[in-house]
A and B are shown apart, each in its own frame.
Chain A
Amino acid sequence: MAGRVLVGVKRVIDYAVKIRVKPDKTGVVTDGVKHSMNPFCEIAVEEAVRLREKKLMKEVIAVSCGPQQCQETIRTALAMGADRGIHVEVSGKDYENLGPLQVSKIMAALAKKEEASLVIVGKQAIDGDCNQTGQMTAALLDWPQGTFASEVSVDGDGLKVEREIDGGLESVRIKMPAVVTADLRLNEPRYATLPNIMKAKKKKIASVKPADLGVELTSRLEILAVEDPPQRQSGVKVESVQDLVTKLRDSGTL
Chain B
Amino acid sequence: MANPLRSEVVRLYKDLLYLGREYPKGADYFKDRLKMAFLKNKGVTDPEKIKELIGRGEYVIKELEALYYLRKYRAMKQRYYEEGKKE
Give residues in A with beta carbon < 8 Å to B. 15-16, 39-40, 126, 184-185, 188-189, 191, 193-195, 197
Contacts and interface: CB of A to CB of B under 8 A. Distances in A.
Contact of B15 (A16, A184, A185, A195): A195
B76 A184 contact: yes
B84 to A, nearest CB: 13
Contact count band on B: 20 to 34
B35 interface: no
A146 to B, nearest CB: 19
B57 to A, nearest CB: 13
A39 B72 contact: yes
B73 interface: yes
B76 A191 contact: no
| Majority-rule SS of B interface residues | helix
A16 B27 CA distance: 14
Interface of B: 11, 14-15, 18-19, 24, 61, 65, 68-69, 71-73, 75-77, 79-81, 87
18 contacts: A15-B72, A15-B76, A16-B24, A16-B71, A126-B76, A184-B73, A184-B80, A188-B69, A191-B19, A191-B68, A191-B69, A193-B15, A193-B61, A193-B65, A194-B14, A194-B18, A194-B19, A195-B11
Contacts of B24: 16
B28 to A, nearest CB: 15
A194 B16 CA distance: 9
Given A193-B15, A193-B19, A193-B61, A184 B77 contact: yes
A176 B75 CA distance: 33
A189 B70 CA distance: 11
Contacts of A185: 87
Contacts of A15: 72, 75-76
Contact of B76 (A39, A193, A194): A39
A16 B72 CA distance: 8
B58 to A, nearest CB: 11
Contacts of B75: 15-16
Contacts of B68: 191
Contacts of B14: 194
Given A39-B76, A184-B76, A184-B80, A189 B15 contact: no
A193 B18 contact: yes
